[in-house]
Chains A and B, each alone.
Chain A
Amino acid sequence: MPGPFVAKISLSHFRSHHRTELSFDGGPVAIYGPNGAGKTNLIEAVSLLSPGRGMRRAGADDLIRRPEAIGWKIRAEVAGHEVETWAEPGSSRQVRIDGKTTSQVALGRLMRVLWLVPSMDRLWIEGAEGRRRFLDRAVLSFDPRHAEAVLDYEKAMRERNRLLKDMVRDAHWYAAVEGQMARAGAAIHAGRQSTIEALMRAQADAETAFPAADLALSHPETDPQTTEDGLRAAFAEGRSRDLGAGRTLTGPHRADLEAVWKAKDVPARDCSTGEQKALLVSLILANARALAQAHPPVLLLDEVAAHLDDGRRAALYDEICALGGQAFMTGTGPELFTAFGERANYLEATDTAGVSQMTIRESQS
């Protein structure tokens, strides 16, 4: 059964789009056109139909179309509901579902959205923060409550770091704050661990042209604590060391996601650029397969064809079609999508004097 999908979307004064209105049938959509034509901007709008700052992590003001600068609005029909999200200059983004103002979190219950963007190409070689964020987004796709645990943990840790910086000595105050960190931290760890297991299972069960990755959480501590009680004790023990540093040096905010190309036993960071991309694609597909039963996701794959050879590209399209859900893909030319044949819908993007135009093409020609 196909999951929730974007049946209609209209963008108004959103980045390079002045007024763009499109309808979709729930299958794969291939978007092609030259650099700067507004392809990524369109799927970024789709990513904003989920909670958070979207796939470019942009602030609401950055999305406002210049030079007009009058604010932006996205309207969409998602799983039979009317979704509106918008921002006026200088204000945060608002959400309305079926005419009722609601929180961004409510978007997560309508539809799950997974994405792969070119900035993730360096995910395996850059700092741990990006990998943690990647993993936490996967956790979030299984359990929307993960967002709360992360926010609670961060808030409590900011409190603790302030106590440390101000050299506060009140042990009861530390204990109370650390109790909050331990509760949220244990939930964060459990969510990450079960997500890694779900992704590994989904890779093992699948017939796929993409490389399986051995995933593991790693920690800078020699004896990492992961339970509520263990974390509480570790925070208490670390107080004098943390007082010296002026911040918290232990906990799930230091964890990292390790990936090893299973068949070759090579760490992801040592794989070739194309292989690293293939690993990412593999994880996104595994995530989608793991979600497929309960919450089939919408996939956003920006410039994904770029680093893949012809064989892998064709395999990717086959797997997207097998998943059966909605997927948006971008690429510079129609030839990148030849292997889709009749199975995708095609959109050609062009830029006319700073305004993006999207034209439906019957098939790529």
Chain B
Amino acid sequence: MTDAPKAMTDLIDLMARLPGLGPRSARRAVLHLIKKRGQLMGPLAEAMAQVSATARECLNCGNIGTTDICEICQSEKRGNGMICVVEDVADLWAMERSAQFKGRYHVLGGTLSALDAIGPDELRIPKLLDRIASEQISEVILALSATIDGQTTAHYIADQLPGVTVTSLAQGVPVGGELDYLDDGTITAALKARRAL
């Protein structure tokens, strides 16, 4: 048996590195793309090149956009004195889909973990503390995982924000990379039932 040409096996190897795909599903996906190269593969390649050239992290909040400061941070309307702190951009997107939260975000990019050498500086926490003052924030909502690392991070942040109301999403609601799997109603309920930390 002869292998596919090198360019194609390279593509398969790259695809197999995507979350949720393994070597088998990557082979299937690439085969599908090649069969539909006119309608699908060409436009996909163009879209990828475009996003790859323009995507960047918001210097203020860590959201992903195409400008140095993302649309949410630029919008006057979103400056309502509330910041929702999330672990991941996927959580931010999930919150936005539910369209309930009208304030701004701060994306940490993970949780504190001494064992994994992830400290406050790796998590944009100093930037968050700056923003509390410069954006006249009155309430910080922590939407972090219920794991030990998530809760350590929540308390670490809360500990340094005297004078600001710090709340967390209702207990029992899985958050932190998991917001993504929740329906809008559940996110809305968790937001309404948020509690002082």
Contact = CB atoms under 8 A, between A and B. Distances in A.
Verify that A and B bind, or say they do not.
Answer: yes
B148 A173 contact: no
B160 interface: yes
B155 interface: yes
B114 interface: yes
Nearest to A183: B151
Contacts of B120: 170, 173
B115 A172 contact: no
Nearest to B115: A162
A159 B150 CA distance: 13
Nearest to B154: A176
Contacts of A166: 114
Contacts of A172: 156, 159-160
Contacts of B112: 173, 176
Contacts of B100: none
B152 interface: yes
Interface string A57-91: 00000000000000000000000000000000000
B113 A159 contact: yes
Interface residues of A, number: 18
A173 B149 CA distance: 11
A110 interface: no
A359 to B, nearest CB: 47
A12 interface: no
B79 interface: no
A168 B119 CA distance: 10
**Which of A156, A170, A175, A176 is most buried by chain B, counting CB atoms within 10 A of its CB?**
A176
B148 A152 contact: yes
A273 interface: no
Interface in A147-192: 152, 155-156, 158-160, 162-163, 166, 168, 170, 172-173, 175-177, 179-180
Contacts of A180: 148, 151-152, 155
A168 B148 contact: no
Contacts of A160: 114
Contacts of A163: 114
Contacts of A176: 112, 152-156, 159
Contacts of A170: 119-120
Contacts of B152: 156, 159, 173, 176-177, 179-180
A156 B148 contact: yes
Contact of B119 (A155, A173, A177): A173
Contacts of B151: 180
B114 A159 contact: yes
Contacts of B149: 159
A223 to B, nearest CB: 26
A180 B112 CA distance: 13
B148 A179 contact: no
A155 B149 CA distance: 9
Nearest to B151: A180
A311 to B, nearest CB: 50
A180 B152 CA distance: 7
B164 to A, nearest CB: 15
B95 to A, nearest CB: 24
**Residue among B113, B148, B159 with the highest chain A CB neighbour number at 10 A:** B148
13 contacts: A152-B148, A159-B115, A159-B149, A160-B114, A166-B114, A170-B120, A172-B160, A173-B152, A176-B112, A176-B152, A177-B114, A179-B155, A180-B152
**9 tightest A-B CB contacts, nearest first:** A162-B114, A176-B156, A176-B155, A176-B152, A155-B148, A159-B114, A163-B114, A172-B159, A179-B155
Given A155-B148, A173-B152, A176-B112, 5 more contacts: A159-B152, A162-B115, A172-B160, A173-B120, A179-B152
